[in-house]
Amino acid sequence: MDLETNELKEDACYVALTHDYLNVNSVMDRVRSPRAGAIVMFAGTTRDNFGGKPVKELQYSAYNPLALRTMLSICKEIHTEYGLIAIAMVHRLGTVPIGEESILIAVSAPHRQAAWRAGERALEDCKERVEVWKREEFEGEDGVWRANRDGAKGTFTS
C-alpha cells in the first residue's frame, strides 16, 4: 500500500480510499475471474453542473478508518447476498476535476443479472452509509458541503 492509498481486503472483497487518479482497468482486474460470466463496472464522474449552477470541481473528504470499514461491510454483505465472485469499491478523496472519476465499483458474478443488481446496490449503499463528504465548488460563488448523496446538503453541528 502506498502512502496515498488506504485499503482493506478480505476474501473476495477489496475497498480503498485514495487521492490518486482512479484507473478503471486496475479496479476491473481486482474482480476478474475465469468463473465470471459478467463484470459490471460503475464509474461516478464529476459533472460540470448541479441545479443549473456551473461546477468547478468536487472535493471529497472522509474519516478513513470508519469509511473503509463501512465500505468493506457493504461489500461483504453484497458479495454474500448476490453470490458474487468478487467486488471492489474505490473512492477518490481530495479534489476531483470535471470529467474525472470519484468512485469506481466493479463486481463479477457467474451471471449478468446478479452483477447488474449488485453493482447498483453497492453504489446506493455506499452513498447512504459510507463516511465520505463532498464539497461542490461553483464558478464565482462559495462551495457547498453535501452528504455523499444525490443533492442532499450536509449539515454541521458543533
- DSSP string spanning 48-79? SEETTEEEEEEEEEE-HHHHHHHHHHHHHHHH
**Quick one: pLDDT at residue 157?**
36
pTM of the model as a whole: 0.89
All three cell numbers of 37, joined, read 460470466
**Quick one: pLDDT at residue 2?**
42
**Quick one: pLDDT at residue 152?**
52
In a domain, 153, yes or no: no
**Quick one: pLDDT at residue 144?**
87
In a domain, 3, yes or no: no
In a domain, 141, yes or no: yes
In a domain, 39, yes or no: yes
CA–CA distance from 76 to each of 5, 29, 82 (Å)?
Answer: 20, 18, 10
Q: How many domains does the chain have?
A: 1
**Quick one: pLDDT at residue 148?**
63
**Quick one: pLDDT at residue 5?**
59
Any idea how long the chain is? 158
In a domain, 142, yes or no: yes
DSSP 8-31: EEETTEEEEEESSPP-HHHHHHHH
**Quick one: pLDDT at residue 43?**
98
Split the chain (158 residues) into runs of 10 and give each run's mean pLDDT: 72 97 97 98 94 92 95 98 98 97 98 97 97 90 75 44
Domain span including residue 117 = 12-147
- The enclosing domain of 114 has a CATH number of 3.90.1170.40
